[in-house]
Amino acid sequence: HAFFLRRNPRSVFHRKALGLALLVAGVSIPLQIASGDLSARAVGRLQPAKLAAMEAHYRTEAGAPLLLGGIPDDATRTTRFALSIPNGLSLLLDDSLQSTVTGLEEFPRENWPDVRIVHWAFDLMVLAGFVMLAAAGWAGWNGLRHRPLANQPWLLRALIFAGPMGFVAIEAGWVVTEVGRQPWIIYNVMRTRDAVTPMPGIAIPFVAFTALYAILALVVITQLRRQFLETTADVVAADSA
């Protein structure tokens, strides 16, 4: 809607649709961030190795810093070039600046997930969430000051950029979930390699279902695009009239 509003600032349809989307975003994004915080605390209690990988936290310590970005190095057990917030991880997990956070050093090396992938995916997920929050907050600020969205080209550009961030956050979150629990399919009970289905020819239904869903996705996208563009053309014609 932001994209089409830039092309036709007079469109009542896209202005109202964008306003509705931003209203939903303004309410749901803070709730999602709060839910993520609760989930991270649960992971810290139930799957401490995953939490340590998410935060690239190698060494058990009190007053653990929160690391943003950086390049985890398993050999030296350090994270180079990370932005470190003193006591941040301890505060987030236990509401205490001096609480002890378990590091990866407490677990056998063969039980570590891929720290780089998990840490980068987690940071990407969080970054995507805050990008969407910033865009929605910017729009809300303009709304409170009664500034029409159609007259804010930079805000519309920001909203266009933020649009795909929800999908980015979802996919990055699944990477954190699935890679972060390795090598376990049931934490501390069964390894993934022990749960692999021995059924022969399993690739055939996998490929068939993948192809089916790809076709269905193409049909849905085509139909939505056709209906959306037709609706847009009708609204533009009505506005012009």
Q: For residue 156, what is the enclosing H or E element?
A: helix 153-162
Predicted TM-score (pTM) of this structure: 0.84
Tokens 């050093």, located at residue: 105
Structure tokens at 131: 């990008």
CA 36 to mean position of chain CA atoms: 10
The CA distance from 31 to 133, in Å, is 11
Task: Name the average pLDDT for the chain.
Answer: 89
Tens of pLDDT, residues 210-220? 999 999 999 99
- pLDDT beyond 70 at 131: yes
226 — pLDDT class (breaks 50, 70, 90): confident
- pLDDT beyond 70 at 238: no
pLDDT over 90 percentage in the chain: 59
Q: Mean pLDDT across the stretch 2-25?
A: 87
The CA distance from 176 to 5, in Å, is 35
- Classify residue 89 as left (phi > 0), alpha (psi -120 to 50) or beta: alpha
